[in-house]
Structure 1
Amino acid sequence: MYQFSNHEIRERIQKTYQKVIDGLQANLDSYVWHEIQSPEDLGQIRMSAMQQFLEDFPQKIQQGRYLTAELPVLPFKTQQFDLALCSHLLFTYSDFFSEDFHLASIVELCRVAAAVRVFPLLNVSGEVSPVLQPVMEKLKAQGYSVEIQPVPYEFQKDANQMLQIKSVV
């Protein structure tokens, strides 16, 4: 998304906003409505976050804070970071990305960071991703430490676990 201008990002947000709210309304029972009270409440929270991002983006992209890159190949040095976080991409969209893509992406994240955390482990339908177990097994076979850990957050029902991966080699 960082390849687009502020204006283009703002337009995309406006075009998708109502779709997201309508999707939440149609699937109210798939979410835990405690901290966030309603789809409209979530909409306000996300629009506020988007506004903060859009205010920050133009100056910080020129400073190199935001970089255009995409998995499964990242433009970073080996072990450049202590921690890599991947939220709401891997496993969430396993209907769109192959098992090979998931594996290659996690291996690449492990290349650039000492530890990797992926959240959530459910797909968009609220089911455990069908590629989770095969990817975990292949990572273990390649010498990675792989562990499912609970997290103290749950908005999508049963999406309260993350995958932590570390290189043991």
Structure 2
Amino acid sequence: MKLKEIVPWGRSFCEYRDMFLLTDDDLQRRILGCGDGPAAFNAELTETGGSVVSVDPVYRFSADEIHSGVDDARSQIVSEVTKNVENYIWDSIRDVDHLVETRMAAMELFFNDFEQGKSSGRYVEASLPELPFENNVFDLALCSHFLFLYSDHVSLEQHILSMKELCRVAREVRVYPLVTLDGKRSPHIEPVVSDLRSDGFDVSFENVRYRFQKGAEEMIVVA
């Protein structure tokens, strides 16, 4: 897949559980979703009484404006996925039409929640590598489909600064996936891991349950 820029595209609560191996105990923790965009995770977790804050620069826009961005992204993504169907696992998601249906259903949950969630402080306009939070205010930070995926758009220096910032505001950090848009392991992983370990962080890799993009089988865990 080739995208000219980072696009708004959201996933569901169930997908987050599988992408990050979230246990019931994890869902009781204070969670930060970084780069969540129009994902349904915040809305669905909040509905069950969970504590979650999502950050994304796209939250400076209105729901209608974000929806317009999603419509633009949808045409790009459908075109790219259709040209590269062999790079995906068509199991829980059956085909391109089902992909769009699944994603749009998740994002509608976000849109229905956005204005209320923004006014209550659950959706915060912010972007890595600088977050407007105190040290260790979160138990767990999740970063889905931003770092490492967009390695052609985000430099190694920005990756290192971003990972350290996530480690500053949360006691544990999980990032998925570790492959780029074209399905190759990100070239930023090893230098990022080396830098984090030299600063005393424990870094590990874990296989996840989620399967869609071929090769995207691991998350990185930093504590």
Structure 2 unmatched runs, 5+? 1-57
Superposition deviation, residue 22 in structure 1: 1.3
- Tell me, what secondary structure is at the counterpart of 1:2? helix
Structure 1: which 5+ runs fail to align? none
Structure 2 Cα separation of the partners of residues 49 and 148 of structure 1 = 27
| Equivalent of residue 122 in structure 2, options 65, 68, 82 | 65
State the Cα distance separating 1:6 from its structure 2 match.
Answer: 1.1
Deviates more, 1:119-128 or 1:56-65: 56-65
Q: Highest relative contact order (Cα 8 Å, sep 6+), 1 or 2?
A: 2
Q: How far off its partner does 1:17 sit?
A: 1.2
Give the percent of matched residue pairs that are identical in Structure 1 and Structure 2: 42
Identify the residue that residue 162 of structure 1 maps to in structure 2: 219
Residue 140 of structure 1 aligns with which residue? 197
Q: TM-score, normalization: structure 2?
A: 0.73
1:133, CA displacement in angstroms? Answer: 0.6
Q: Choose from 79, 85, 95 the match for 2:136.
A: 79
Q: Is 1:108 the equivalent of 2:155?
A: no
> Displacement, 1:148?
1.1
Which amino acid is 2:218 matched to? Q
Secondary structure of 2:151's match?
Answer: coil
Q: Matched residue pairs, number?
A: 166
Of stretches 100-109 and 16-25 in structure 1, the one that deviates more from structure 2 is 16-25
Separation in 2, partners of 1:124, 1:71: 19
Paired letter, 2:200: G
In structure 2, the residue corresponding to 1:12 is in which secondary structure?
helix
Q: Deviations over 1:58-111 (max 9, x none)?
A: 122111111101000101110001100001111001111111111110101001
Taking the aligned partners of 2:168 and 2:119, their CA distance within structure 1 comes to 26
Q: Which residue of 2 aligns with 1:25?
A: 82
Q: Mapping of 1:30-45 within 5 angstroms?
A: 30-45=87-102
1:9 corresponding residue in structure 2: 66
RMSD: 0.8
Partners in 1 of 2:186 and 2:76 — Cα distance? Answer: 23
Match of 1:124 in 2: 181
Segment of structure 1 superposing worse, 46-55 or 121-130: 46-55
> Which residue is equivalent to 1:95?
152
Amino acid at match of 2:136: Q
1:119-139, CA deviations, whole angstroms, 9 ceiling, x for partnerless residues? Answer: 010011100001111111111
Give the structure-1-normalised TM-score.
0.96
